[in-house]
Amino acid sequence: MASSKSQQFFHTSGATHSVWVHQDPVSNRPSFSKLNQDIETDVCVIGAGIGGISTAYELVTRGREVVLLEARQVLSGETGRTSGHLTNDLDDGYTEIAKKHGDEGARAAAESHAWGRDRVGEISKMLGIECEYRKLPAYEVSQYSTKDAKEHEDEMNDLRKEEAAQRKFGIDARFDESLTVRGWDGAIDQRGGLIVKDQATFHPTKYLNGILNWLKTQPNFRCFDETRVMSVEEKGIEILGIGNKSVNVSTSDGYTVKCNNAVEATCVPLQKLSVIAQMEFMRSYCIAARVPKGAIEDCLLYDQAEEYKYIRLTACDDEHDYLVVGGCDHKVGQEDTTTEFDELEKWTRERFSQVKSVDYRWSGQIFEPVDFMQFIGKNQGNDHIYIITGDSGDGLTHGVLAGRLIADEIDGIKNPWADVYSPKRIASMVKSLPSMIAHDVQINAQYKRFLQSDITDIEDLGRGMGGVLNKAGSKPIAVYKDEEGNVKQYSALCPHMKGVVCWNTTEKSFDCPVHGSRFSREGICVMGPSKGNLAPVDEAGKADQENVAGS
């Protein structure tokens, strides 16, 4: 029987636990069976996070027959490792979004994210889901005590420009140079900022568990977990919409789901390239700290630092709230992962004097498109395969929004917001070419790990730790030593494009610095674009490729 530690990666994508399990433990998730035969359906949705579940819901309510597939357990990916913001106050700012996508594209982004934010409230009310959904203001603030006068004024001017941009695109935003946030009373002060009305927050897994429980009662819905998809291929011929093209979704166990349309809601697409080269892959960190109930204003809060922090409250107990603080983002597999939680706690205590214990610490993965907007719609080169990816730090809102965009496109409805999210868009990518080239150069530099070793000897590896051993004349090996001292070895080459993985001390995983794939300490793939696991190696260091799924 698998140990509870190995089962951890069946329920989530890391060794840490997020605050969401405090009131919604894993045991609350609805159970499903594993696919054990070939089946047919109208739409096959791959990935049971917020994008996949929202898409399944929108399609089922329109009468479509839907099959939802999940490689591990439902909600085992990044949805349960977020910070719970629902907003159209987007991270990259509307001043910058308009430069890439024009005024029409920026307005579409504002309107569509507002719809996604409000849709959660509508659905939770219709289905009777208690998920802490509530409207509240968002504040973008300046910390003047940490800056000289000129830097502070520069930030204030940037916020004034953002106010003008947001108001232009229909967002109720107001700059207030005297804004102070109740509860921010620490040595590092704050004064002035942008107030954005009618934003929202919720408990993401409570909400999605509620939808899944409703979907289970619908005759046109089926879900299978522990069912890993290995390929999604269009079959047949279709020209200008005329023909008989269908889609085959093939699993690692050899079964096929034949469907009219397939939706890849898998954080990153399953195809080897697709839009992957147009995104950066980031890790982001969160803590949840106890504070006296009512001591800190209930709002969404963002500072203006280069490595900005994002904040919200969620329920703890009768006497306390949890203050959820996130930030310290860095590229996957390219930074030390042992200092971020301490940095977040220090940052928080310097600003909020009533912070008590820090009870939860966790990290998650973010996908940043070079032109700031998510990819939602037909995949490049496909007519019946759709993708949902590139959350740009707003994955919860954009996952809900994706449900409508995908359902509209499958139904043949022209959605006015669709073009700005199209995976086939060109103009904004042309404007982003310098960023794409710089990203490409930086990614290619990661192949230097073929010549590097994290550890010199397995004997020196501490218990519960991992690393990469790169002996001269042999291929690099990923090594994990468990708490009992047992050693497990795998090929350190990511099955996707042969990048050399590195050890993530915080999440006890092997992460690929090339395109962000991640693997559990047992070598199991928990994050694409890789579809396969790390190949086990024998005592001679040779990888056993048998029964190891492909890239």
**For 407-454, how does the pLDDT look when each residue is reduced to its tens digit (9 = 90+)?**
999 999 999 999 999 999 987 777 767 776 666 666 656 666 655 667
- Residue that has been written with the tokens 């907003």 in this structure: 87
Who's near 370: CB < 8 A, 6+ residues apart? Answer: 278, 279, 280, 429, 432, 435, 436, 439
Share in percent of the chain as helix, strand, coil (round to 5): 30, 30, 40
Range 9-38 average pLDDT = 93
- Phi first, then psi: give them for residue 173, nearest 5 degrees: -120, 145
Helix or strand holding residue 283 (H, E): strand 279-292
The yes-or-no verdict on residue 76 having pLDDT over 90 is yes
More confident residue, 397 or 9: 397
CATH of 131-196+282-366, one of 1.20.1070.10, 2.60.40.10, 3.40.630.30, 3.30.9.10: 3.30.9.10
> Does residue 540 surpass a pLDDT of 80?
no
Q: How many CB atoms lie within 10 A of CB 22?
A: 17
Q: Which residues contact 509 (CB under 8 A, 6 or more apart)?
A: 9, 13, 14, 15, 503, 518, 519, 520, 521, 526
pTM over 0.95: no
pLDDT in tens, 334-392: 888 889 999 999 999 999 999 999 999 999 999 999 999 999 999 999 999 999 999 88
Q: Are 463 and 419 spatial neighbours (Cβ–Cβ below 8 Å)?
A: no
Cα angle 457-460-463, degrees, rounded to a multiple of 5? 125
What sign for the dihedral angle of Cα 295, 190, 106, 46? negative
- Which carries the bigger pLDDT value, residue 471 or residue 354? 354
Decide if pLDDT at 90 tops 80: yes
If you ran DSSP here, which 8-state letter would residue 468 be given? E
Check whether 64 has a pLDDT greater than 70: yes
> Looking at the predicted structure, is the pLDDT value of residue 547 above 60?
no
* Model confidence pLDDT, tens digit, residues 214-261: 999 999 999 999 999 999 999 988 777 777 889 999 999 999 999 999
Token pair, residue 328, equals: 């310290």
Q: Are 332 and 310 in contact (CB under 8 A)?
A: no
Give the CATH fold of the 447-527 domain: Rieske Iron-sulfur Protein (2.102.10)
**What's the chain's length in residues?**
551
Angle between helices 149-168 and 94-127 (to 10 degrees): 60
pLDDT at 439: 62
The number of helix segments (H) and strand segments (E) in the chain equals 10, 26
- Measured between alpha carbons, how far is residue 114 from residues 119, 121, 139, 165 in Å? 8, 11, 16, 16
Higher pLDDT, 304 or 389: 389
Nearest to 186 by CA among 356, 348, 300: 348
pLDDT by residue (tens digit) across 116-163? 999 999 999 999 999 999 999 999 998 766 666 778 888 899 999 999
Question: SS in 3 state form for 213-281?
Answer: HHHCCCCCEEEECCCCEEEEEEECCEECCEECCEEEEEECCCCEEEEEEEEEEEECCCCCCCCHHHEEE
Domain boundaries, the chain: 4-82+205-277+372-439, 131-196+282-366, 447-527
Domain at 4-82+205-277+372-439: CATH architecture: 3-Layer(bba) Sandwich (3.50)
